[in-house]
Structure 1
Amino acid sequence: MSRSEAEVPEVSSERGGAEGTLQALQSLMGLETEATAARLYEELSLAQRERLLREAEQAPSDVRARLSEVLRFARDFSGAARLLSGCGEDARVAALYVQAGQYVDAAEAYLRVGDAERAAAAFERGGALERALGVYRGLGSSEAVAQCLVRLGRPFEAALVYRELGQPHSEVEALGCVPVGDARYVESVLRMCMLLDAEGFTRRALALLADTMRGSEAVRADPALAAEKARLLRRMGMEAEAEAVIARLTAQGIVPRDDGYEYLKAIPIFGELSLEDMRDLYRVARQVLIPAGAVVLEKGTAGVGLFVLLEGTVEVFSGTEDDARRLNTLGPGAHLGEISLVQDAPVSARVKARTAVRALRITRAGFQHYLDTHESAALRIYRLFTQNLAARVRALSG
């Protein structure tokens, strides 16, 4: 039969010292019901409970386990976890610390039992983001790594992870968190513009660039952003506006980089190439000079590869007839024939040099050799080509 409540030793709130704590411990362990023992424990002061716990931590493991159940019944989950620590009950210890809201302690217990996934989540929930980041990296959980990096205020690093994962939407969101004062702010804006343009949101990319340039005098003067604005304007067929941007740069004594590397890197299907793969691709390209009036691409013929315009302008016509409609005029930064690199299809329009043109050219044969020797780059290029093609089909059907 359980002792009655009348038989429970009274614990005075004035009692102190080791003797009072020991007596309280002995009283608790002598009771036959957890509920009664828990009630007695609840009546102890905070200082008395702490002394009791310190003393109980030196007791044998079976005593600690029994007292832990009393404390759990009293809803002192943290104290119950402390008493179980070192008893080979780390899974229970972790669960108790979670109940107590002590997530970092719970994470440490999860690590001791080898449950790294729960440990990482508990570290993150407890605000120990650097610890969580380390565990997530050990697990190879790239998305969780990226999320932690954003929460740690390291969005550019997070964006690099999303780039490796092939998640352009998440990459844009992360890049959007890079602050204006960051040394990589301009690079982030340029990358966002390229991603948005590649996904078919050229107008949105241009609006982002305009907002960025309005926000800061120093940023507005950056020639890379101005050159990107000109490129996007050309993409939208706004050749006059693009030329005005280039003219302003020239008037300021700034000559946009014209070796073609930046132009080549901005082409959507090359948007996920690594630095090494991008440099190797650039080495495949050759500069060519095209005289004014020469036909660059002829409608209906087999594609001959990619042209990236560095100097001069070309005109795009709907057909080969003398009265064919002029569709567009393109200048530096524009590219032609990229589809012929990955798809055997006839040229869809006639392109004629309006002025003398200097351009980068990558032939189909040269590009095929590049793909054969760069497997990872080939996979990325074909995936982006497929995505861009699907976006165009959606746009036409919409």
Structure 2
Amino acid sequence: MPGATGGQSVGGARMGTDAEGALRAVRSLVELDETEEAAQLYEELGASQRERLRKQAAQGPAKERRGLVEVLRRARDFLGAARLMDGSGDDAAAADLYVQSGQYMEAAEAWLRAGDSERAAAAFERGGALERALEVYRGLGARESMAQCLVRLKRLFDAADLYRELGQPHAEVEALGGVTPEDPRYIEAVLRMCRLLDVEGFTHQALAVLVDALASSEVARSEPAMVTERARLLRRMGMNAEAEAVLGRRNATSATPVANGYRFLKAIPIFSELTLEDMKDLYRQARQVVLAQDSVVLEKGEPGVGLIVLLEGTVDVFSGPEADARQLNSLGPGAYLGEISLVQDAPVSAHVRARTAVRALRISRVAFEHYLDTHEAAALRIYRLFTQNLAERVRALST
């Protein structure tokens, strides 16, 4: 019987027949669409045998290549499967396989061939080819992604200029904050940060930036423009010139500045294990939003809008939008909403309304997904902590 013959061949291969017999057995199983058995046998082959089989398949008919691709996928030889897919006309599928194998450069090139420039750019960025990513993002007109690449390339003034064009002052400040005292344009960066922070209402923080620069750089201490800016900021805070001598001691006890959201964002449990650089990159994804009193912040049953972190004002959480809906909670600065919508496509479970005017940070799901795509280590930490926190919530509800 044909079935018995095939079984004996496979059994013989597994019992240690010659390499040619094993290769023929795999190819026979592929022809018979016995994908799972073929995958198991492929896993038992030596590295040289597997390479030989892939080379033979690459020169064979398209049907055989397609069959072996599925076998390799089942055996988790994603790189081998991707290389067999090259030239098949399905570059997008090859790109996905390259990603699964961790070969982001090859994935990016495959996505370019498939015409998906956006995913190609993200793969270049993820693979560390930042100049290539920047080039593709520029072609797409994706200025925000360009700015993020420029930050990673340490082209901080270029990044800051783009963030200014995009109307994102907090990201502009973050980019300029990476300029070191050794940079010839350090003074320019400090003064620009101070003016930005002051305009945004963070005069206290602007003064702290200036004082830190004066303490860390001899060049800064000898720059007249820095002294002038320090005096201006002190006047803005209602402090006279004589207070300059004791400013360093008074910084810790002076009025608390308006929160800029970074520390609130950092305090969210699913971000608690991010490195400083990953946390800064995430903060640059946030956008400030202002909501009027009595406006709807989140509407029950509607798709989530992403993460919202409250900076100023108060919101009320209700069981629904009805006038007689039960009030569940009231939240103020530092509270956050919608973190589940960052990773799960689920409707909003409560109705949230602004009791007062509200200023908040928002990270959309699209921006967050791009962040995860380009920050692999951070993504793993976030998903693990998200799963843990979700499990803890379920346990709390069940007790």
Same fold (TM over 0.5): yes
Question: Which AA in structure 1 matches 2:9?
Answer: E
Q: How many angstroms apart in 1 are the aligned matches of 2:135 and 2:179?
A: 22
Counterparts of 2:190 and 2:104, CA distance in 1: 37
CA distance in 2, matches of 1:167, 1:150: 14
What are the within-5 Å matches in structure 2 for residues 283-322 of structure 1? Answer: none
- Other-structure match for 1:7: 9
Shift of 1:112: 0.8
Unaligned stretches of 5+ in structure 1?
245-392
Instruction: Report SS of the residue matched to 1:57.
Output: helix
Q: Name the SS for the 2:89 alignment partner.
A: coil
Letter of the aligned partner of 1:88 in structure 2?
A: G
CA distance in 2, matches of 1:20, 1:50: 15
Partner of 1:159: 160
In the other structure, the counterpart of 1:197 is 198
Q: What one-letter code is carried by the residue in structure 1 that aligns with 2:189?
A: S
Secondary structure of 2:184 counterpart: coil
Task: Flag structure 2 segments of 5+ consecutive residues without an equivalent.
Answer: 246-356, 359-399
TM-superposed CA distance for 1:242, in Å, is 9.2
State how far apart, in whole Å, the 2-side matches of 1:167 and 1:135 are. Answer: 22
Which whole-Å deviations, capped at 9, do the CAs of 1:171-222 have from their partners, x for residues lacking one? 1111111122122211110000011111222222112111110112232222
- 2:43 is matched with which residue? 42
- Post-superposition Cα deviations, 1:118-160, rounded to whole Å, max 9, x if no partner, equal 1112222222222211111111111111111112222222111
Deviation at 1:243, TM superposition (A): 10
1:340-377 Cα shifts (integer Å, max 9, x gaps): xxxxxxxxxxxxxxxxxxxxxxxxxxxxxxxxxxxxxx
Counterparts of 1:37-116 in structure 2, within 5 Å, are 37-116=38-117
Distance 1:138 1:199, change over 3 A: same
Tell me which residue corresponds to 1:170.
Answer: 171
CA contact (8 A) 2:85 2:94 kept: yes
Contact 1:11–1:44 (8 Å) recurs in 2: no
Give the distance between the partners of 2:16 and 2:123, measured in 1 at CA.
Answer: 36
User: How far apart, in 1, do the equivalents of 2:153 and 2:213 lie?
Assistant: 24
The answer to whether the 8 A contact 2:130-2:149 is kept is yes
Instruction: Kindly state the Cα deviation for residue 223 of structure 1 after the two structures are TM-superposed.
Output: 2.2
- Per the alignment, residue 314 of structure 1 pairs with none
SS in 2 for 1:66: helix
| CA distance in structure 2 between the aligned counterparts of 1:226 and 1:101, rounded to whole angstroms | 51
Q: 1:46 to 1:216 in 2, by over 3 A?
A: same
1:234 aligned partner, one-letter code: R
Alignment of 1:193-232 (within 5 A): 193-232=194-233
Distance 1:5 1:177, change over 3 A: farther
Letter in 1 for 2:93: R
State the one-letter code of the partner of 2:218: E
What CA distance in whole angstroms lies between the structure 1 residues aligned with 2:103 and 2:78? 10
Following the alignment from structure 2 to structure 1, what is the Cα–Cα distance between the partners of residues 77 and 154? 35
Is 1:181 aligned with 2:194?
no
The one-letter code of the counterpart of 1:209 is L
1:390 maps to none
Q: Give the length in aligned residue pairs.
A: 244
Give the aligned residue type for 2:59. Answer: Q
Q: TM-score when scaled to structure 2?
A: 0.55
Instruction: State the alpha-carbon separation in 2 of the partners of residues 14 and 197 from structure 1.
Output: 78
- Listed one character per residue, the Cα deviations across residues 40-65 of structure 1 (whole Å, up to 9, x for unaligned) are 11111112211222232222222211
Larger Cα Rg: Structure 1 or Structure 2? 1
Distance 1:229 1:176, change over 3 A: same
Contact 2:13-2:21 at 8 Å conserved across structures: no
Identity %: 61
Aligned runs of 1:314-393 on 2, under 5 Å? none
